[in-house]
A and B are shown apart, each in its own frame.
Chain A
Amino acid sequence: MTSGLKDSYYIMKRDLIRMTRQKMPLIGAVVRPILWLFFLGTGLKFGFIALPLVGINWQQYIFPGIIAMNVLFSGVMSGATIVWDREFGFLKEITIAPIPRWSIILGKVLSGTIIAGCQGVLVLAVYPLLGISLGFLQLAQTLLAIFFIAMAVTAVGVLLAARIRTLEGFGAVNNFVVMPVFFLSGALHPLSNIPDWLKILIYFNPFSYAVDLLRVILLGLDGDPVLDILTIVLFTNVIFLSALYLFAQRRQYYP
């Protein structure tokens, strides 16, 4: 067990070293929320109907959703590192090393969580520019929530990587998984006055609970943080165990 945890640590460490040597994902992590928050957010703030909430403007309203979005993009796409490792032989290299399969999955989830969490924190850092004031406790709770959500979405990326075998295939995840999950989370609009079918989809989307959790902490809006946390914990466990199962399967290997 201890040895497996050490193996996970080294897998995580390697991924983090590799990450620091890539500029594009970092640039993307900074540019993406700027576009959403300051371009879309400003447009909504000045050119759209008033929010049915007192004391909160559109920019502030979508802020928790944009943090969650940055975490979601980065976390799910961290699965691409597994596909990359598979394409370029490193996964084969560690698969034949004397380390348990679960340590590979755990290492990947940990590295993805740290990277996705940091990208969420990058967005959080702009809260003073939006006129939001946060106390120390709120900040600490938000940081915890961000890394907690990062672990859940990274587990999804790892699960997808268990089955998607090419980088091209993983690219499609952005369109078919990340975007629908984001748009069906209520990150950009309140749930009042929307059609029932959309409301049902949002309620069944685990990511909605991540957005809600951040909204409750950052904006003090009504919500159920206990339900949010329980949903995310249950979801993370199911996804992590499913990923473990898929990776542990001894499949036929095609060179």
Chain B
Amino acid sequence: MISVERVSHSFHGYPALKNLSFSVSPGECFGLLGPNGAGKSTLINILVTLLQPDSGSVTINGWPLATEAAKIRSSIGVIFQDSSLDERLTAYENLYFHAMFYHVPPREASQRITALLAMVGLADRSNDRVITFSGGMKRRLEIARSILHQPQLLLLDEATVGLDTQARRRIWDYIASLRQDYPLTILLTTHYLEEAEICDRIAILDHGAVIACDTPARLKEIHGQKTLDDLFLHLTGRDLQDSETGELERLKAALRVRRIK
């Protein structure tokens, strides 16, 4: 489903990913854990075809990223950390335009949108503008949008950041029920331990490299740790939810400031 082999990428000479390799099997829920600046977002941007790696190869759903980006785009659904919904449009319109951009036939799109809005509990808000929605409602709408074109792979980049525990739990309930009906492979990045625990396998990233990869239970067993937090601390010397800004984050922030100037 996903094969990442010896991928490296750097920003202005600063290495964000170093010879990174891992694979994800069909139907698997795979988690990428790492502190800020570990390279998670860079990797996600490569997987969604926004960024070309400096070296290495990536294959998604059987297609090489270097030559078949368009086919890959059709077969993945993505939820980014920051909402990309159009707040001036209604919930229905947001989904409708997404369906059109993914070439879902209009009649079928309409049926799918109605069903998905009902699934995420937003059927009664279909014609309301997204600007009136709460953070949790927007996330649910984004989940509906991400699977509207029936992707084989769902990429969740810190998709539940900023939501309260209850909202996060609801979202994972939706995703769990979705996986029962639909053979969906999931790759997620997260800071939250409870999300990492539900993954079939996790990879721990630090300084742009995978330092451990296995099932959560097996990783804890191998390293003699009781919890994932302990495991993370043991492997990286840092807390998983450590919000300290990494070197790469500082570089990106500096670049943003320079661009604004």
A, B bound: yes
Tell yes or no: A253 within 8 A of B by CB. Answer: yes
Of all chain B residues, the one with the shortest Cβ separation from A92 is: B84
Q: Is the CB of B102 within 8 A of A165?
A: no
Q: Is the CB of A255 within 8 A of B83?
A: no
Q: Which of A6, A21, A168 contacts B88 (CB 8 A)?
A: A21
Q: Is the CB of B100 within 8 A of A6?
A: yes
A165/B89 contact (C-beta < 8 A), A89-B83, A98-B74 known: no
Q: Can you sample 15 A-B contacts with CB below 8 Å?
A: A7-B100, A7-B101, A10-B100, A10-B101, A17-B88, A17-B93, A88-B84, A89-B83, A90-B86, A92-B80, A98-B71, A166-B259, A250-B52, A253-B50, A254-B255
A94/B80 contact (C-beta < 8 A), A21-B88, A252-B51, A254-B11 known: no
Q: Which of A17, A96, A99, A165 contacts B49 (CB 8 A)?
A: A96
Q: Which residues of chain A come closer than 8 Å to B71, judged between CB atoms? A: 98
Find residues 170-185 in chain B having any chain A CB closer than 8 Å to their own CB: none
A253/B45 contact (C-beta < 8 A), A21-B88, A166-B260 known: yes
Q: Is the CB of A254 within 8 A of B52?
A: no
List of 3 A-B pairs having minimum Cβ-Cβ separation, nearest first: A89-B84, A97-B101, A98-B73
Q: How many B residues, CB 8 Å from partner?
A: 36
A115 to B7, CA, bound (A): 45
Find residues 37-90 in chain B having any chain A CB closer than 8 Å to their own CB: 41-42, 45, 48-52, 70-71, 73-74, 76, 78, 80, 82-89
Tell yes or no: B252 within 8 A of A by CB. Answer: yes
Q: Which of B42, B70, B83, B259 contacts A98 (CB 8 A)?
A: B70
Tell yes or no: B97 within 8 A of A by CB. Answer: yes
Chain A contacts to B: CB under 8 angstroms: 3, 6-7, 10, 13-14, 17-18, 21-22, 88-90, 92-99, 165-166, 168-169, 250, 252-255
A10/B97 contact (C-beta < 8 A), A98-B102, A165-B259 known: yes
Q: Which residues of chain B come closer than 8 Å to A255, judged between CB atoms? A: 41-42, 45, 252
Q: Which residues of chain B come closer than 8 Å to A165, judged between CB atoms? A: 259
Q: Which residues of chain B come closer than 8 Å to A94, judged between CB atoms? A: 101
Shortest CB distance A87–B (Å): 10
Interface string of B217-261 (1 = CB under 8 A from A): 000000000000000000000000000000000001001100110
Tell yes or no: B169 within 8 A of A by CB. Answer: no
Of all chain B residues, the one with the shortest Cβ separation from A20 is: B88
Q: Is the CB of B80 within 8 A of A89?
A: yes
Shortest CB distance A254–B (Å): 6
A209 to B81, CA, bound (A): 47
Q: Is the CB of B11 within 8 A of A97?
A: no
Q: Which residues of chain B come closer than 8 Å to A10, judged between CB atoms? A: 97, 100-101
Q: Is the CB of A18 within 8 A of B89?
A: yes
Q: Is the CB of A168 within 8 A of B260?
A: yes
Of all chain B residues, the one with the shortest Cβ separation from A93 is: B84
Q: Which residues of chain A come closer than 8 Å to B101, judged between CB atoms? A: 7, 10, 94, 97-99
Q: Is the CB of A96 within 8 A of B252?
A: no
Interface string of B21-45 (1 = CB under 8 A from A): 0000000000000000000011001
Q: Which residues of chain A come closer than 8 Å to B52, judged between CB atoms? A: 250
Shortest CB distance A123–B (Å): 26
Q: Which residues of chain B come closer than 8 Å to A169, judged between CB atoms? A: 260
A14/B102 contact (C-beta < 8 A), A92-B50, A96-B50 known: no
A255 to B259, CA, bound (A): 13
Q: Which residues of chain B come closer than 8 Å to A6, judged between CB atoms? A: 100
Shortest CB distance B102–A (Å): 6
Of all chain A residues, the one with the shortest Cβ separation from B252 is: A254
A185 to B85, CA, bound (A): 40
Q: Which of B50, B70, B82, B88 contacts A18 (CB 8 A)?
A: B88
A32 to B42, CA, bound (A): 45
A250 to B46, CA, bound (A): 12
A89 to B88, CA, bound (A): 13
A252 to B11, CA, bound (A): 8
Q: Which residues of chain A come closer than 8 Å to B87, judged between CB atoms? A: 88
A89/B252 contact (C-beta < 8 A), A10-B101, A17-B89 known: no
Q: Which residues of chain B come closer than 8 Å to A88, judged between CB atoms? A: 84, 86-87
Q: Is the CB of A18 within 8 A of B49?
A: no
A6 to B255, CA, bound (A): 36
Find residues 85-127 in chain B having any chain A CB closer than 8 Å to their own CB: 85-89, 93, 97-98, 100-103
Q: Which residues of chain A come closer than 8 Å to B100, judged between CB atoms? A: 6-7, 10
A46 to B83, CA, bound (A): 55
Of all chain B residues, the one with the shortest Cβ separation from A89 is: B84
A253/B73 contact (C-beta < 8 A), A7-B101, A98-B102 known: no
Q: Is the CB of B80 within 8 A of A14?
A: no
